[in-house]
Structure 1
Amino acid sequence: MKFSHSIQFNSVPDWADHYIAYSNLKKLIYQIERDIFSPNAVRNDTEAANLESEESPLLNNKTRANAIFMPALDKELAKINAFYLNKEKELIEEVSKLISDIAVFENLEDNVSIRSNSIALSRSFQSGEGSHPRRRRSNSQLRRNRSTSDAAVSFASSDDDDEEFNYSHQTDGARNSTDTDVMDNRLSYLWAPSSLEEQRIRLKKRTIELFVWLSELKSFVSLNYTGFSKILKKYDKITNSNIKLKSTYLNNVVSESYPFRQSNRQKIEEKISKVQEIYANLCTNANMDIAISELKAHLREFIVWERNTIWRDIIGLERKSHAVGIKEPVTINHSVGKGSNITTPFGEVNVSNTFWKNISLMLIFIGVFIFLLNIRLFEGVEENNCFALLAFASLLWATEVIPLFVTSLLVPLLVVCLRVLRDGDERLSAHDATKSIFQAMFSPVIMLLLGGFAIAGALSKYHIAKMLATYVLSKAGTKPSFVLLANMFVATFASMWISNVAAPVLCLSIIQPILRNLPPNSSFGRCLILGIALASNVGGMASPISSPQNIIAIENMNPYPTWGQWFFIAIPLCIIIDILLWILLLWNYEQRKSSLMIHPIRSSKDPWTGTQIFVITVTVATILLWCVEKSMEDFIGDMGVIAIVPLVLFFGTGILTKEDFNNFLWTVIILAMGGIALGRAVHSSGLLHTIAKSIQNEIGDLHPWHVLVIFSVLVLVVATFISHTVGALIILPIVAKVGERLSDSHPNLLVMGSAFMCSAAMGLPVSGFPNMNAIMMEDEMGVRYLSAIDFIKSGIPGSVLAMLCVVTIGYVLMSIVGY
């Protein structure tokens, strides 16, 4: 791995701006090489200086290069020094506070133990030898006990402001009472074992956090030192000088700087050792080996959570899903039934059984396709060919024999070759059909999808979505029901802006501290993960860019809905469905009366940067333009044009890079383009008109509400078993045409309602990406939190509740808008 990648993946994201700018320094070296050490530059210097010695221009070039490169190194070093000084001071102060609080806790623990023993002994004497007078404590001992309890009360109050018991009142009562028994009883009640255990847990969490940050600071120094070493080595190689800058600058400047001095490195090591010792005494009965092992486990979890960005996680999950059927070549002990070997002229190839299964299905589907092409089901050749194409594409999408986007790429090829497009009654030639289908594929809606990806990428890359989410979740408190509701609302809200594909990845990463601190086999972990998955599905309704099925719906609506209209309908609907799902989950997992207290999520205290403010400003401005697009239609033309604004501003200013552009979910874009192409073919060939007429004859002259109910049930069943997007691709064009043919025409109402139902289908683990992501969640032992029964128990009733909301509340809201 290149060091530029290594520093990118191993750095602490919140400190990213304070590491050595390795890539920028590398670019500067290449610029120096091009401008100073190229043959032309050397020759020009020679002629200009008119020097006799051949080595003089090279020496002059070296001086010029140093004059450019060394100030850049000094600037990076000063930046690192300033950050390190502030962070070291902050962490050392935290260590001192922890040591002080640990001392108070240990004194308190010892005092409670002694006091409990003395109370038991005193009561034993009173019951057995009542005539003997009680021994009185010395005044000094009493004062010492009072002082310890006062300090302990102060310590406990600072850690838990919400404690219902008034410690100061109890302490004053102990001071004013002359009866020693009363004071003993109050102190025993005040510092009961349960209260001590709560303090121990809080101190344990503080110790783990401090260990993680001290370790990160140590890694910060090591990573930057390696960065200086490598960049200086590259510089010396480029300049090809006998006098190496690496040895002089690294030893005389970098190593003597404050963060890189051996004494200061040792200071951090000592603080880490002290924290490990505290943890050992607190949690592992002074066993240092176990303590270090447990602390390192927390460090690994922290790094994995912090390093990965949402989009990198999504790309990784997508690649894993595409590689499910690919196995490593097996050279020994071939398992029976795992696959078979095929001998080819190029060698022996091991082929899995999944491959043979897909080949078999593909041959069957091709047979069906050829059969449909050769029988006359419709009057027109174009309609007949288009029906065969529709059936073939639907089978491939539903079974995923080949990747979904590959099927989408097949659609325009078959549309042109089968010549299914018409212009009026005239069948288009292959040349004209090619132009028509490709023009349709890159529609304004695709541009809207790209703009949504740009906004999602910027909000994720600069941790804006995470900061907002953690801020909201930090206010949720510690009661399980409220924590669940807050996480569900955050998942739905995040789905509006970073899509319901990225939102569950973000939310499930945020709740890792909660999951780690739950008791073993706690049902709340399952309830919380499932709640985020279901709420993310619901969030797929919330905005036009929150899911691909919404993009397909907009493409089939005429006129396009404005963002204001969509929000008016979708946001109240999402809130109501979330609340109903919350009640259902509380009932199913019996969290209504749970006494469990949840570890609160800490909000980020980092200040907002100028880049983050710029990203938020551009995002809000773009959304406002989308909302008022109808009033500016004569100037803007379409909301797809507005989507260019975030693309230009984010990529043009360097906020997003070409790597971010490459990480867009291009498979989703191709999938949407294929769906649009299929929709154009079905409409142009006349097949859609014929199908809609047949459905119209079956349903008669029903009220639009009855038609909405029928299509909602149909979409719910289909989208539960196949991809939400695929369900939208197949069904929504038909729904739009049926809506047009009703005597009381409401095509937009039926399309939007059906699109909502695509998102509401969440009854199985395969019903949408949020469910698939949730079912893969595992605990520290590698055991999955959820099983299929969890989705059947909560997902299917949740889908039915969502459908009831869509056909009642959703219908009313869509009618108010005028759909």
Structure 2
Amino acid sequence: MKFSHSLQFNSVPDWSSHYIAYSNLKKLIYSLEKKVHQASQLHDGESSPLLNGSIDDPDKIFSNALDHELEKICTFYQLKELEIYGDVDTLLRDEESYEEDQETFEAEQAEQAPGTRGSKRPRSNSIFRTIGFGRPRRTSTMSQSYEGDEDGESEDGDDENTRLRKSKSRDGKKIWDSHTEDDLRASTDFASSRRRASLAFDDYNDMAFSALYDSGVSLKRRTISLYVSICELRSFIQLNKTGFTKVLKKYDKTLDRNLKRPYLEQTVDAAYPFQQSTMDHLSENLSRIETAYSKICTKGDVAEAKRELRLHLREHVVWERNTVWREMIGIERKSQAANMGLRQTMLGQDTDPQKLRLQGDEIEPDMKEVITPIGRYRCPRWLLSSTFYTLIVIFAIFLLLLFAPIAKMPPEQQNCLALVVFVSLLWATEAIPLFVTSLLVPFLVVVLRVLRTDAKPRTRLETKDAATYVYGAMWTPVIGLLLGGFTIAAALSKYNIAKMMATFVLSKAGTKPRTVLLTSMFVAMFASMWISNVAAPVLCYSIIQPILRNLPSDSAMTKALLLGIALSSNIGGAASPIASPQNLIALQHMSSPIAWGTWFFIALPVCILSILLIWVLLLVTFKPGRNTTIVPIRPMRDSFSGIQWFISVVTIVTIALWCVSHQLESFFGHMGVIAIIPLVLFFGTGILTKEDFNNFLWTIIILAAGGLALGKAVDSSGLLHTIAGAITDKVGDLSLYGVLVVFATLILVVATFISHTVAALIVLPVVQGVGQKMNEPHPDLLVMGSVLMCSAAMGLPTSGFPNMTAIMMEDSQTGQRYLRVKHFITRGVPSSIITFLVIITVGYGLMLVSGL
């Protein structure tokens, strides 16, 4: 999560205006960057007014902005601290009073006889004063008589008759009045008198206990509230300190200055909120609150008090984030959904509102009114969408192929043909998610019984054996190789190794537009080899942000850079076996998977030559060097840590083992087994966590597994043999080179309009079958040439993830997209043709030399 989002999400809502204005300071940094860049164009280094300590010195401007933020933070903190600590002192005094009230209540409870006076009287400010707690009680005439004798004087509340009933003493003898006998009889009714006294005592104790209980509950709530407030005060300090650190780091990195350390040491650390004594005082008050809570709620157990208070703090934070910020998060998510809708509109995809609906939003069902000759009806909108009708057509084709008689085709092959067409249409139209279609493959393979036994005579497998076979085909060593590639990519990205390498190379490119463009393209290609061509363009676009910020949005250099990185990332998807899923699918369809060294021998020259030719195309069509000044990219100053060295060594060793996997086949068996090494070392040591594992592109893995299962089904049913024979008859007069050109052209057209991986899933099994049927079998050569061509299809914005990422890039200030569809058609289509020509010439020669 970006710090700006973290600051917004973790700040106290009522204090939001008193935190560091991190986003505004970032905007100021970019503004100063532009001014410095413009000044460097107009003046040389010695005469630039921005660099001579003048009033326009960026350090001075930025320091003044920071001073303003620091003053705002300090003023608010001091006021809030005074308020909260005052409440703490009041709470502690009330807590002491509560303890004394508890002692008073316990002393009264200890008195067994209801008529006995309490040993302690409540204080003047005690809660028990309101209910008469501690005053003498009148329980019976007997007790009053004896009390009168002992005290020698009457009670203030006695009336005349009562005084007459009391015994008198004359010369040590007792004298009774005329009512003495009756009163004695009444007073000796001891059981009745005892019950009356007990009831009065119970009612009295209930009132006292209720007052004490209410006071305790109130104190508990106040204690929890103050504990939360002090924790929020501590978070306020920590978030703002982190904000100053991060914004100064960004300033130094963006403008190549050294302001961070002196400003933090001399100004921020010296400010009252960030002094160590302030934090110590805060911790001391937290301890006082915890001790007070322990006395009120946990019988003096401070450890238990800390645990309960932390639970209350957690509940408060969760409640606050789920309520106060819900509206803010909802607005942001709706904005993202709107952007996604805009993106789908630009890419010509379905923009059904049902798909853009946000999870958790309380909106009415998406219904539409339909007018028919017999009345008006309301029905779900998806029933009227193009996707729904597409699904109906695909199902109709599936049923037609499944039940219509096809001459000279066994039932398992006819069922398999219906299955292949059905799955291919679903993949091509993306009527349902791609991975969901892949999950349909094993289900339909088993239900339609398209698999046959390997031994002759080949009979249809029963469903139980078919299920075991098809699931075994889905989980192969190639899937393990894919997981190994994801693991290496995750480690290189998480620990910034890929970014450090990329910025180091780009920092050496200088400021010449053509050199920067070429270097960026090769960096994108290299990154695509190891962290996939999905993540590589995102990484490269983040690195060249300083260049984009200082160029006009309509600059030719901007367009050339974005397009160059996208096209190079596509081509880089063919540079290594783990660069993209289609490469792993190709390895699965080779008679014997080629070693990594052989792959590099063929793919790297093809990729490098293609990128050079595309670079020339971009220079000729965009002319990015005219009136363009480039801001140099600065390398990351962070030194390599021990973990980064460990990741690099493990990655290099793993790749080296993959390169010589054929020589080690007797030991490892398959490259997929070698892929377990980074999985165990990175996840076992905690470098990567289970969250990283869960974040793998499992949809791609399921897609690849479904494709492998489909390929096995087509082969086992005999359909592949039939189709390959038919195509071979058509191209029987063509040479191996002619067949390669035909399939490369077919792949180029298909992969331009649908996913590269899907194109490989559909076409590569057929290519392999045709290669095996030829008079001079070269199935591996045809598969290799075809998979290289999959990555070269990049003529439209939808022709691969790098193109989709590029067309969504926007100017941060104007919000305008840098690229249009026309840029991909006018440069992407020629680039695809250039790469096609390189593959069928240079690539073909290298494949022959390597012995494919």
TM-score between the two structures when normalised by the length of structure 2: 0.61
> Which protein has the larger Cα radius of gyration, Structure 1 or Structure 2?
2
Q: 2:798 is matched with which residue?
A: 766
Partners of 1:256 and 1:396 lie apart in 2 by 52
Match of 2:775 among 732, 743, 746: 743
Is 1:710 aligned with 2:742?
Answer: yes
Is 1:754 aligned with 2:782?
Answer: no
What are the equivalent positions in structure 2 for 1:245-644 lying under 5 Å apart?
325=352, 326-328=355-357, 340=368, 351-352=380-381, 356-377=385-406, 378-423=408-453, 424=456, 425-591=458-624, 593-644=625-676
Partners of 2:235 and 2:341 lie apart in 1 by 47
Partners of 2:243 and 2:638 lie apart in 1 by 28
Deviations 1:98-130 (A, max 9, x none): 9xx99xx99x9xxx9xxxxxxxxxxxxxxxxxx
Partners of 2:668 and 2:342 lie apart in 1 by 38
Amino acid at match of 1:367: A
Cα offset, 1:738, TM superposition: 0.7
Query: CA, structure 1 residues 759+774, in 2 after alignment: closer, same or farther (shift >3 Å)?
Result: same
Query: CA, structure 1 residues 248+443, in 2 after alignment: closer, same or farther (shift >3 Å)?
Result: closer
Query: CA, structure 1 residues 261+209, in 2 after alignment: closer, same or farther (shift >3 Å)?
Result: closer
Q: 1:40 is matched with which residue?
A: none
- Assess if the C-alpha contact under 8 Å between 1:496 and 1:542 holds in 2: yes
Partners of 1:414 and 1:265 lie apart in 2 by 56
Q: Could you say what secondary structure the match of 1:359 adopts?
A: helix
Partners of 2:605 and 2:617 lie apart in 1 by 19
Query: CA, structure 1 residues 271+402, in 2 after alignment: closer, same or farther (shift >3 Å)?
Result: closer
Cα offset, 1:775, TM superposition: 1.1
Cα offset, 1:9, TM superposition: 6.5
Q: 1:10 is matched with which residue?
A: 6
Deviations 1:144-195 (A, max 9, x none): xxxxxxxx98xx25xxxxxxxxxxxxxxxxxxxxxxxxxxxxxxxxx6xxx6
Partners of 1:269 and 1:408 lie apart in 2 by 45
Partners of 2:243 and 2:767 lie apart in 1 by 70
Amino acid at match of 1:746: H
Partners of 1:670 and 1:696 lie apart in 2 by 32
Q: Percent identity?
A: 50
Cα offset, 1:754, TM superposition: 0.3
Cα offset, 1:611, TM superposition: 1.1
Partners of 2:733 and 2:772 lie apart in 1 by 13
What are the equivalent positions in structure 2 for 1:797-812 lying under 5 Å apart?
797-812=830-845
What are the equivalent positions in structure 2 for 1:12-31 lying under 5 Å apart?
none
- Assess if the C-alpha contact under 8 Å between 2:449 and 2:461 holds in 1: yes
Deviations 1:515-545 (A, max 9, x none): 1110342121111111111000000111001
Query: CA, structure 1 residues 271+622, in 2 after alignment: closer, same or farther (shift >3 Å)?
Result: closer
Q: 1:729 is matched with which residue?
A: 761
Query: CA, structure 1 residues 553+271, in 2 after alignment: closer, same or farther (shift >3 Å)?
Result: closer
Query: CA, structure 1 residues 339+785, in 2 after alignment: closer, same or farther (shift >3 Å)?
Result: farther
Partners of 1:207 and 1:640 lie apart in 2 by 57
Query: CA, structure 1 residues 817+340, in 2 after alignment: closer, same or farther (shift >3 Å)?
Result: same
Q: 1:694 is matched with which residue?
A: 726
Query: CA, structure 1 residues 215+553, in 2 after alignment: closer, same or farther (shift >3 Å)?
Result: farther
- Assess if the C-alpha contact under 8 Å between 1:221 and 1:260 holds in 2: no
Alignment RMSD (CA, Å): 4.8
Q: 1:145 is matched with which residue?
A: none
Q: 1:142 is matched with which residue?
A: none
Partners of 1:742 and 1:769 lie apart in 2 by 35
Amino acid at match of 2:667: F
Cα offset, 1:501, TM superposition: 1.0
Query: CA, structure 1 residues 328+670, in 2 after alignment: closer, same or farther (shift >3 Å)?
Result: closer
Partners of 2:487 and 2:651 lie apart in 1 by 10
Q: 1:304 is matched with which residue?
A: none
Query: CA, structure 1 residues 11+464, in 2 after alignment: closer, same or farther (shift >3 Å)?
Result: farther
Deviations 1:9-31 (A, max 9, x none): 6389xxxxxx9xxxxxxxxxxxx
Cα offset, 1:787, TM superposition: 0.9
Amino acid at match of 2:388: I
Q: 1:309 is matched with which residue?
A: none
Partners of 2:68 and 2:622 lie apart in 1 by 39
Q: 1:665 is matched with which residue?
A: 697
Deviations 1:210-230 (A, max 9, x none): 8999999999999xx99xx9x
Q: For structure 1, list consecutive stretches of 5 or more residues without a partner in the other structure.
A: 13-18, 20-90, 113-151, 158-190, 230-239, 279-312, 343-347
- Assess if the C-alpha contact under 8 Å between 1:420 and 1:681 holds in 2: yes
Deviations 1:219-269 (A, max 9, x none): 9999xx99xx9xxxxxxxxxx9999899899989x9799x8799x999999
Amino acid at match of 1:429: E
- Assess if the C-alpha contact under 8 Å between 2:49 and 2:56 holds in 1: no
Q: Could you say what secondary structure the match of 1:630 adopts?
A: coil
Cα offset, 1:702, TM superposition: 2.4
Q: Could you say what secondary structure the match of 2:368 adopts?
A: strand
Amino acid at match of 1:728: A
Q: Could you say what secondary structure the match of 2:663 adopts?
A: helix
Query: CA, structure 1 residues 198+693, in 2 after alignment: closer, same or farther (shift >3 Å)?
Result: farther
- Assess if the C-alpha contact under 8 Å between 2:789 and 2:836 holds in 1: yes
Deviations 1:568-627 (A, max 9, x none): 111111111111010001111122x52311111111001111111111111111111111
Query: CA, structure 1 residues 537+256, in 2 after alignment: closer, same or farther (shift >3 Å)?
Result: closer
Partners of 2:71 and 2:582 lie apart in 1 by 47
Query: CA, structure 1 residues 415+779, in 2 after alignment: closer, same or farther (shift >3 Å)?
Result: same
Partners of 1:333 and 1:247 lie apart in 2 by 42
- Assess if the C-alpha contact under 8 Å between 2:7 and 2:239 holds in 1: no
- Assess if the C-alpha contact under 8 Å between 2:420 and 2:710 holds in 1: yes
Partners of 1:604 and 1:212 lie apart in 2 by 26
- Assess if the C-alpha contact under 8 Å between 2:582 and 2:760 holds in 1: yes
Query: CA, structure 1 residues 241+656, in 2 after alignment: closer, same or farther (shift >3 Å)?
Result: farther
Query: CA, structure 1 residues 271+526, in 2 after alignment: closer, same or farther (shift >3 Å)?
Result: closer
TM-score between the two structures when normalised by the length of structure 1: 0.64
- Assess if the C-alpha contact under 8 Å between 1:214 and 1:268 holds in 2: no
Amino acid at match of 1:368: I
Deviations 1:771-816 (A, max 9, x none): 1111111112221111111011100000000000001111111111
Q: Could you say what secondary structure the match of 1:427 adopts?
A: coil
Partners of 1:270 and 1:430 lie apart in 2 by 63
Amino acid at match of 1:369: F
Cα offset, 1:507, TM superposition: 1.0
Cα offset, 1:398, TM superposition: 0.5
- Assess if the C-alpha contact under 8 Å between 1:419 and 1:430 holds in 2: yes
- Assess if the C-alpha contact under 8 Å between 1:703 and 1:744 holds in 2: no
- Assess if the C-alpha contact under 8 Å between 1:577 and 1:805 holds in 2: yes
Q: Could you say what secondary structure the match of 1:460 adopts?
A: helix
